Structure formats: structure tokens, C-alpha cells
Amino acid sequence: MTTLAAKSPFELRVGLGNLPEQSVREALASGEMGFLHSYTTGSTVDGPGVRVVAWTTGCQWRCRYCHNPDTWTVTNGIPVSVAQAADELRKYRAGLKAMSGGFTLSGGEPLMQHRFAVKLLGAAKGMGIHTTIETNGFWGSRLTDDDLESIALVMLGLKSWDPARHKDLTGQEIGPTLDFARRLAARKRPIWIRFVLVPGLTDDPEDMAGSARFAASLGNVERVEVLPFHQMGRFKWERLGLTYTLESVEPPTSEAIDKAVAVWRSAGLDAS
């Protein structure tokens, strides 16, 4: 039997939901139950300090470099109630506090299950646990201003500044993500930007500079993380029968990563 605890999010998981469609709809509408791909403990790369990370299923984007395409379908996840997830989280409360860490809800795209996300993040906050959400921001408008108060940090994926390139890379428009970033700025909610560096796709200096200027103009971006593209998710595309277009793309060299970081830094941002 598949358990929720995963050694890594690179485990392929499909068809675990096993619920009638009506039950899935009801779960999403109430938010009392959500669908999780997995969770891990002890992460040091998904927000400040040491973190428990839960990966939700469901994403409406189709990023060509996505390393977790098995999270795209909501019902690939395991149904979990807010109460169950909160109980599990409670076990780590003292340790997370001691390690200046917290809880991160990632995906997939967590705001595909925004009601569940809000309830779970609210429960974590209620336990005194620092909360982070990792999102593409497309459904940021689903969150009320009160909901935003339950989220101590938003890790926002910026994929490309050029609208046509963004559409080609993700299948979706960039506008809603930028609107969400502006709204977070207006409400002085902190953002960390995550940017995946893909040679030949996202490494155009002008394009990166556009994103960097936008991020710097917001005034609430505390940090930028340049993440090198890798091929670790490729096998999932193949196993799921999806067309993968980046077979011949190599991970960026350390020199290319340094150059990309320099572009973000030259806009005055704390990038690494």
C-alpha cells in the first residue's frame, strides 16, 4: 500500500484517489478533504529552516520542464482530511519550531484545492507553525485577504517575462501570476521568487531582466532562487505516455547559473 510519506517527490504516483467523481467534487468544494501526492519531512529547500512539505495533486499548467507530471491530476493523490493532515503536522510542531522551520504546501498547484489549502494552512498557523505556499500564482484570486494572513510566505514561480514564451512554456497566460504578485506586494506579504533556468528556453538575459525588474519593483521580494533544470522527472513523462520535448536539453553549467543569478542581482535582488 502506498503511504503518504515519501522518500522524495520524485516517486511516481498515479490513480490513488479511487473516489467517485461526485465525492471528489464534494471534497474540493468543502475543503474538508484534499488530495496529496505525498509529504516529506526535513526539507531545507522549500522555505526557511527545516520543513515538513506536503505536495498536493492537481495543476492546470503544463510546464514543459515539470518534474512532477503525476501531480497534474487531482485524483492521482491520496484523499486526506484536514483533521488527519493537521494531526500529522502536530507531531512535528516542536521540532519545526526548534529548527526555525515550518510547513510548506507545494504541488502540483496547491490553489487547485484552495479551500483545503486555506484550512490546512490555517490549522498550521493555529498551532504556531510558520506557513509557506509554493504556487504558480494563477489562482491567487481565489484567496481572500483573510486567507493571505494564514500564509507567512509565498514562494512564487516566475517562468518567463515574455508572454508568448510563457504561454509556450506553461500553456497558460502570465497575467494572473503577475496580478497575484502585485496584490501580495500591496498587502506587504513576503515573496520568494523561484525561477527555473532551462538552457535555450528561459536563459535569455533580456527575458530574465524583465522578470527581475518586475520582481524588484514590487518591494516585497525577499529572495530569488535560481533553480537549475534537471532531467530527474523525465521518466515520469515517459511512464505516463506524455510527450516530453526536452530530451536533448542539458542542465545549465555553473557558469550559466552564475550569469542568471547576476541578472537578478543587478536588479537589486537577493538572488542565489
In this complex, which beta carbon is closest to ligand SF4, that of residue 60 or of residue 84?
A: 60
Stretches 41-49, 64-72, 95-103, 239-247: which one binds ligand SF4 (CB under 6 A)? 64-72
CB 106 to ligand SF4: min, Å:
9
Residue whose CB is less far from ligand SF4, 55 or 92 = 55
CB 35 within 8 A of CB 27: yes
Question: 154-172 b/e with 16+ CB inside 10 Å = b?
Answer: bbbbbbbbbeebbeebbeb
Minimum CB distance to ligand SF4, residue 208 (Å): 18
Q: Which is nearer to ligand SF4, 132 or 170 (CB)?
A: 170
Of the two residues 79 and 233, which places its CB atom closer to ligand SF4 in the complex? 233
CB 207 within 8 A of CB 238: no
SS3 247: coil
- φ/ψ of 163, rounded to 5, equals -60, -40
Under rule CB under 6 A, which residues in 78-137 are in contact with ligand SF4? 107-109, 136
- Site string (150-189) toward ligand SF4, x via CB under 6 A: --------------------x-------------------
CA 211 from chain centre, in angstroms, equals 18
Contact 150, 122 (CB under 8 A): yes
Choice from 40, 71, 104, 150 touching ligand SF4 (CB under 6 A): 71
Nearest distance in Å: CB 253, ligand SF4: 22
Q: How far is the CB of 62 from ligand SF4 (least distance, A)?
A: 6
Sign of CA dihedral 259, 260, 261, 264: positive
Q: How many residues bind ligand SF4 (CB under 6 A)?
A: 12
| Residues linked to residue 155 through DSSP beta bridges, in sequence order | 134, 192
CA-based nearest residue to 47, from 129, 137, 144, 141: 129
230: exposed, middle or buried (Cβ count in 10 Å: 0-12, 13-18, 19+) = middle
Among 68, 104, 132, 160, binds ligand SF4 (CB under 6 A): 68
Name residues contacting ligand SF4, limited to 44-63 (CB under 6 A). Answer: 59, 61-63
- Which triple of cell numbers denotes residue 232? 530527474
Among 28, 50, 52, 66, binds ligand SF4 (CB under 6 A): 66
Complex with ligand SF4: residue 72 or 92, whichever CB lies closer: 72
The residues binding ligand SF4 (CB under 6 A) are 59, 61-63, 66, 68, 71, 107-109, 136, 170
